[in-house]
Amino acid sequence: MSRKRLLIVDNSLHPILFRPWRSWKRFVGDVQYDVANLPSGQPVPEIERYTHLLLTGSEGSIVEPKPWFDVEAALIRKAADAGLPILGSCFGHQMLAYALSGPATVRRTPAPEVGWVTLRVTQRDELFVDAPDEWPAFAYHFDEVFDLPEPWHVYAHTDRCAVQIMRFGDQPIWGIQAHPEMSQKKAQAVTRIYLLLRGKAGRRVITALRRPSLDETPIRSVVRRFLTLDPTYPVADSADR
């Protein structure tokens, strides 16, 4: 197998202000990567050049479709057909369900999550084998995945969100609703922005600002295992192009 090359799809609507790919960059080690911001209309990279695909969060709402949604959904389906390992976080997690099972699998959440939540792992597979049973992570979402059809499997939930970790059958395709990639500093900055925009602070948000530093060991393990996977179908030696 050729060396790994990761495509990070940056779903930020304001990439000068919000750069979610940078949070993931901390965990990819020496794996080569490229970043493509699809909301801005950047050209869609040739997926044949890559061995892995990562989908970031976004300020956008999955229930308010934009033309670039179809572009990203087509890229996801092409990557899935090629057997590439795919990992999505928050909006990227929702986009996986949207692309592979349709818009009926996403909705406005009746209980938004802002701040630190506890992921309760109910099943394990190769990616989350080292994750603890209860995994604290930062969350910031007003939409969610729900009522997933086969072949999706749900691996974790929180008190307010039933689908926190999911996998598409036995394919190497996973979604995480939370933002375990965010550092304490970044998460607190996002929380402060939320306070400025919303104008009042609930107890959950104040708690988030006071939360001590979190252990990044679980997400480091997840990303490491993700990047060691090979595509499940033969791929041309294109990562060296």
SS3 content of the chain, % helix, strand, coil (to 5): 30, 25, 40
* 90 annotated active-site: yes
3-class SS at 201? coil
Does residue 237 form part of some domain?
A: no
Q: Are 136 and 118 in contact (CB under 8 A)?
A: yes
C-alpha closest to that of 175 among 186, 185, 192, 161? 161
The CB-side HSE value for 106 (13 A sphere, CA atoms) comes to: 23
C-alpha closest to that of 228 among 59, 88, 87? 87
Q: Are 163 and 122 in contact (CB under 8 A)?
A: no
From CA 135, how far away is CA 118, in angstroms rounded? Answer: 5
Task: List per-residue pLDDT tens for the chain, 241 residues long.
Answer: 458 999 999 999 887 777 888 889 999 999 999 999 999 998 999 999 999 999 999 989 999 999 999 999 999 999 999 999 999 999 999 999 999 999 999 999 998 888 788 899 999 899 999 889 998 888 889 999 999 999 999 999 999 999 999 999 999 999 999 998 887 776 666 666 655 555 554 555 555 555 555 668 889 999 999 999 999 765 554 444 3
Does residue 24 form part of some domain?
A: yes
C-alpha closest to that of 161 among 182, 183, 146? 146
Does residue 240 form part of some domain?
A: no
Does residue 58 form part of some domain?
A: yes
Provide the residue range defining the domain that includes 15.
Answer: 5-228
* 93 annotated active-site: no
Predicted pLDDT of residue 240:
42
First vs last C-alpha separation in the chain:
14
Domains contained in the chain, number: 1
pTM tops 0.85: yes
Q: Are 112 and 142 in contact (CB under 8 A)?
A: yes
Predicted pLDDT of residue 205:
57
Predicted pLDDT of residue 202:
55
- Catalytic residue selected from 52, 90, 113, 157: 90
CATH number of the structural domain spanning residue 175 = 3.40.50.880
Sheet holding 5-10, edge to edge: 32-37, 5-10, 52-55, 86-89, 173-176, 165-168, 152-157, 106-121, 134-145
From CA 105, how far away is CA 187, in angstroms rounded? Answer: 27
- Catalytic residue selected from 52, 93, 157, 179: 179
Does residue 39 form part of some domain?
A: yes
From CA 69, how far away is CA 58, in angstroms rounded? Answer: 12
Does residue 197 form part of some domain?
A: yes
- Catalytic residue selected from 72, 113, 144, 181: 181
